[in-house]
Amino acid sequence: MVTWKLLDEGAACRNTLDYNRANELLRYGIACLRGKAGIVASEKGKLELALIMKKDLARMGAWWQVKVLDHWIHRFQKGEFGDIHP
């Protein structure tokens, strides 16, 4: 299982973009939205986790990963992965 932590405000400025870390965070965000990350959370909780990860990716400067995760967030909001919208 992948673990992640929130970035502090200055971490993104101090470090160069770590593509492996950004892709790992992207994969975990998608798995959360699809319900395959092994976490127990409401639909709102899954969305909140994905939005936090999107913010972390933006702080890292991983613009491509932000764009892809945003696409998956929109799919989630349309109800493609949950029981909310059949």
Residue 43 forms part of a structural domain: yes
State the total domains in the chain: 1
Q: Which two tokens stand for residue 30?
A: 């998608």
> What's the one-letter identity of residue 36?
K
pLDDT for position 7:
59
Q: Structural domain of residue 61, as residue ranges?
A: 11-77
Residue 6 forms part of a structural domain: no
For every one of its 86 residues, what pLDDT tens digit does the chain have, with 9 covering 90 and above? Answer: 455 565 555 554 445 678 999 999 999 999 999 988 888 888 899 999 999 999 999 999 999 999 999 999 999 999 887 655 44
Angle, helix 43-60 to helix 19-34, in steps of 10 degrees: 170
Residue 4 forms part of a structural domain: no
CA distance 41 to 43: 7
